[in-house]
Amino acid sequence: MFNAVLSLLGLRGRNPTDIEALSPTTQRTRRPYGGQPVPLDASQDPTDSDFYDEWFDAINIVPASDGVSVLTFCPGFLSEDPNTHEVDYDEEMYPREEDINWVRRLRDTNRVYQHMFESESESTSSSHPRIVRYLGPTPTGYRLERLKPGPAYPRDLDPTTNDAVLALYQRWALQGLNALDYIHSKGIVLNAFTEDALWIREDLSLAVAGFPAAACATCVCRQEEWSNPWRAPFYGEVEPERFTEDLTECPKRDIFDWAVWVCTNMSGASPLRHGITTSRSSKEYYDELHEREKALKRGEFVNWPRLPDEMLGVVVVKALRGEYTTAAQALEESRDLVEACGRTLSDSHVDEIDGFVWDHEFTVKRRSEVCWNILAKGNGFGKDGDSVDTASQMSKRDPGEDY
């Protein structure tokens, strides 16, 4: 993967601040993107030529030359003809026909976006605040609006010791459901509501960015076309019906994914891992986890963790059990719980919490490529007892921890 190559070259983690500190000679000789091939319209500015994000270890995103958008493409990209815009891929990386499915799925995502906005006046731009704006197809995939900070996510902020953190997680939970409600209203299922798919705006609000696994009536994502790299290998066995031409039940699975994400945010552990007391490095830990996974596959797992109401516990459990048929139902009950714990909800936005100036409560600083720090102002402490200023990193989670 590109990240491994960049790490070996010592280039991963370079950011605009680092570049500005280099000598002019070094700036001139630095190779954008570590010398890796990128689409023709990618930025070549030495201060803005690092990889922006990656999805599911299979899709790369780089800043575009216009400074306000980003481009998607698959690893193995070799070149783009400047005249015909025909794209070549590494045959060694894609030796089999099925391996090229990543490229095909990325291009097919354009059809999902077009389906989403076909009933609106503009078919190539999203105006929903919880959806990253789609700006049309490209030879390698498609173009999206560029968010700042964008691909950033907190790992170690503790909502039990910092009320602003709890409010931020509540806000994101509402915004995630609002996004799913809109997506489902267009006859689309996301199939991958995970940390990888989410970006953050400057006001620390949430926006869904990753649609490569999404499906609609005119563009179904079949399981054989998607290797589920963001899940553990057993995922296809646990929920083989997720990728199906019958999309009627799929919203429940998106809501299930939302509940896993919320539970992990609020408690620091995914639902299936709650209550396992043995060391994570032990065989016993993974034996117990695998037994729970098999019980989930059989529909027999019932010991879902019940979080406190302020952490949306009852909604999370109902979502994990598949009791919601629409995201709107979960959103309404989540709003009730958030309001019951003393929050003031916005009159003008269904998914906003009043009473916080988010950029006064938090500050976001770049740490390295595809990795940011979120610093909570005040007296919050991390889960290990460290000050939040040093403990809270926004970065990618281990993709094996989804359940």
DSSP state at residue 121:
S
Domain limits at 378? 163-401
Is the pLDDT assigned to residue 249 strictly greater than 90? no
Q: If you average pLDDT over every residue of the chain, what do you get?
A: 77
User: Rounded to an integer, what distance in angstroms lies between the CA atom of residue 375 and that of residue 392?
Assistant: 6
Query: For 280-304, how does the pLDDT look when each residue is reduced to its tens digit (9 = 90+)?
Result: 888 888 888 888 888 887 777 888 8
Quick one: which H or E segment has residue 371? strand 371-376
Evaluate the omega torsion of the peptide bond into residue 240 and state whether it is cis, within 30 degrees of 0: no
Same domain, 189 and 85: no
Cβ–Cβ < 8 Å for 171, 203: no
Tally of CB atoms within 10 A around 2: 19
pLDDT score recorded for residue 71 = 97
Same domain, 190 and 127: no
Same domain, 130 and 196: no
Does 152 fall in a domain?
A: no
Q: Is 84 left (phi over 0), alpha (psi -120 to 50) or beta?
A: alpha
Same domain, 125 and 204: no
Angstrom CA distances, 133 to 57, 67, 69, 116, 143, stand at 22, 15, 9, 12, 9
Same domain, 135 and 175: no
User: Rounded to an integer, what distance in angstroms lies between the CA atom of residue 69 and that of residue 44?
Assistant: 14
What burial class does residue 6 get, using C-beta atoms within 10 Å of its C-beta: 0-12 exposed, 13-18 middle, 19+ buried?
Answer: buried
Does 157 fall in a domain?
A: no
Query: For 20-48, how does the pLDDT look when each residue is reduced to its tens digit (9 = 90+)?
Result: 333 333 334 457 888 999 999 999 998 88
Same domain, 117 and 190: no
Q: List the structure tokens of 344.
A: 């003031």
| Residue 188, SS3 per DSSP | strand
DSSP state at residue 243:
S
Angstrom CA distances, 93 to 75, 99, 284, 285, stand at 8, 8, 36, 35
Query: For 220-243, how does the pLDDT look when each residue is reduced to its tens digit (9 = 90+)?
Result: 665 544 443 333 333 344 344 444
User: Rounded to an integer, what distance in angstroms lies between the CA atom of residue 403 and that of residue 382?
Assistant: 23
pLDDT score recorded for residue 121 = 53
Query: For 61-116, how does the pLDDT look when each residue is reduced to its tens digit (9 = 90+)?
Result: 999 999 999 999 988 889 999 999 999 888 777 665 555 677 878 888 898 998 88
pLDDT over 90 for what percent of the chain? 39
pLDDT score recorded for residue 257 = 92
Cβ–Cβ < 8 Å for 365, 372: yes
Same domain, 218 and 116: no
What burial class does residue 8 get, using C-beta atoms within 10 Å of its C-beta: 0-12 exposed, 13-18 middle, 19+ buried?
Answer: exposed
pLDDT over 70 for what percent of the chain? 71
Residue 362 pLDDT level (bands cut at 50, 70, 90): confident
Higher pLDDT residue, 310 or 22? 310
Q: List the structure tokens of 241.
A: 């019906």
What is the pTM assigned to this prediction? 0.80
Same domain, 131 and 240: no
Query: For 124-182, how does the pLDDT look when each residue is reduced to its tens digit (9 = 90+)?
Result: 445 799 999 999 999 999 999 999 888 876 656 889 999 999 999 999 999 999 999 99
Domain count, the chain: 2
Does 369 fall in a domain?
A: yes
pLDDT score recorded for residue 172 = 96
Cβ–Cβ < 8 Å for 175, 351: yes
Same domain, 8 and 88: yes
pLDDT score recorded for residue 239 = 43
DSSP 35-68: G----TTB---TTS-S--EEETTTEEEEEBTTSS
Same domain, 316 and 376: yes
Same domain, 167 and 141: no
Angstrom CA distances, 198 to 36, 173, 244, stand at 25, 12, 24
Angstrom CA distances, 50 to 3, 96, 244, 362, stand at 11, 30, 37, 25
Choose the final residue of a domain: 116, 145, 174: 145
Residue 323 pLDDT level (bands cut at 50, 70, 90): very high
Q: Is the dihedral of CA 266, 268, 271, 275 positive or negative?
A: negative
Cβ–Cβ < 8 Å for 343, 170: yes
| Parallel/antiparallel/unpaired status of strands 188-189 and 215-216 | antiparallel
